Amino acid sequence: MADWEKCHTFAALILNFIITMKRNVFLKTVLLAVCTLFIAVGCRKDDSPSGVAAKMQGTWMLKTSNSKEVEDYLKKSFIEIKDLVKKYKLADGKEIFAVNNINLEIEKGDIYGIMGLSGAGKSTLIRLLNRLEEPTSGQILVEENADSNGTDSDFSKKNILEFNEAELREYRKKTGMIFQHFNLLNSRNVAQNVAFPLEISGWQKADIDKRVDELLEIVGLSDRKENYPEQLSGGQKQRVAIARALANNPKILLSDEATSALDPRTTNSILDLLKQINKDFGITIILITHQMEVIRKICNKVAIMSNGEIVESGTTKQIFLSPKNELTKEFVAHLSHDTFRTEEEIKRRKENSSGGKLRLKLKYNEEQVSRSYIAELIRTFDVEVNILGGFIDKVSNIIIGNLLIEITANEKKVHEIIDWLTKHKIDSEVL
């Protein structure tokens, strides 16, 4: 019997067992994954007609056996925040809300971004998620395997606010934290910093050494294990902090402004690393940031916070392409959206810009802000211009402006308008 036949037969036996099961959705899910593994292993190198047929049949088996309850289990939220409130009492007796009635659902494997201006409450929210701060009211429900009787309830959600000290310790072991300023111990070298949480957890020396080597390999710092924090760059320090956060094989990784102290190039490398960790290990990442570029690059979902409340949430694509809240619109106005558009949408926009509607993002420098370029453009080319959004900002005492406009014009005028903008040294981007 060929390898593919053996694996296919074994997968079929597992599948028959799954079909007879009435409970334990999680076990069903695991067994389906095992089916997938056997089919993949058995058929990976068999390109014969029989092998191809087995692959097709295996795919069909998995699709048809994927019951609604299994599907529902996989879609179930991993973290559920309900009516979460954190308020502080001031000296004069007044109360302020740092977090006000937050409701969120975060699924397994999400990279969930939480964004807002300074003082919005996002850092308070993330500290509530690992109980570094205690909420005033509400619930934080996290799925965990608490029992061992083999029932579906093994994977029910537990309210972490009701955990005793022992339960909270175990929860924190499975919840890694990355800080803005790294929080490394200067008296310890790289390897010792990464080893620290393992020492606290009671690991044996040989196991610690092995695990540290694995983690430093993941973050690309195997050659820096003997270095001390003062000998590292900011990006290297953050990689050490990430390795330390991964030490106890966490299910959740909390990132509090982890890239805000880094330059753009280093920021991108850290974000790439986090994305790879999420992909390789399936860790759910909750990422606090005030940078919309960070959200766009790494997050699949996002919530916008203002004054302790969530004013808008959804998939990153939804937020960027169809923002509803005024604050959200301001956040995304100056960013290109092509990252989230399909090839068909991009093609359609290009067709529109060659004759009909032309959508442009204009960037002004300090000298150009005060001049009425839009009025000049209308007078010069006799075209209809619709202003969609924009803002003026100050960067290092330099005033800059961004304007999103839509122009109705034929193909000839479109080219003339772009040439005119170039002549006046206005940076333009066709959207």
Q: Convert the pLDDT of each residue in 98-128 to its tens digit.
A: 999 999 999 999 999 999 988 899 999 999 9
Which of residues 74, 98, 120 is at a domain's end? Answer: 74
Q: What's the average model confidence in pLDDT over 186-209?
A: 94
Query: In one letter, which amino acid is 35?
Result: C
What total number of domains does the chain contain?
Answer: 3
Distance CA 335, CA 330 (A): 10
Q: Does pLDDT of 274 surpass 70? A: yes
If asked whether residues 170 and 267 sit together in one domain, one would say yes
Nearest to 292 by CA among 269, 324, 267: 267
| Residue of 308, 307, 304, 283 whose CA lies nearest to 295 | 304
Residue 318 has pLDDT above 60, yes or no: yes
Say whether both 316 and 398 belong to one domain: no
- Give the domain-ending residue among 300, 332, 364: 332
Residues 59, 112 within the same domain: no
User: How confident is the model over 252-260, as a mean pLDDT?
Assistant: 91
Dihedral, 284, 139, 77, 292 alpha carbons, nearest 10 = -50
268 is a domain residue: yes
Indicate if 254 and 398 belong to the same structural domain. no
- pLDDT tops 90 at residue 340: no
Q: How many helices (H) and strands (E) does the chain have?
A: 16, 14
Burial of 90-115, coded b for 16+ CB within 10 Å and e otherwise, reads eeeeeeebbbbebebbbebebbbbbb
* pTM, full prediction: 0.64
Which residue range forms the structural domain that includes residue 117?
A: 77-174+250-332
pLDDT tens-digit readout, 37-58:
555 555 544 444 444 444 444 4
- What CATH number is attached to the domain comprising 390? 3.30.70.260
Note whether 351 and 426 are same-domain residues: yes
Following CA atoms 255, 257, 262, 263 in sequence, which dihedral angle do they give, to the nearest 10 degrees? Answer: 110
- Verify that 116 and 35 share a domain, yes or no: no
Mean pLDDT throughout 155-163?
Answer: 84
313 versus 4: which is more confidently predicted?
Answer: 313
How many Å apart are CA 308 and CA 86, to the nearest integer? 9
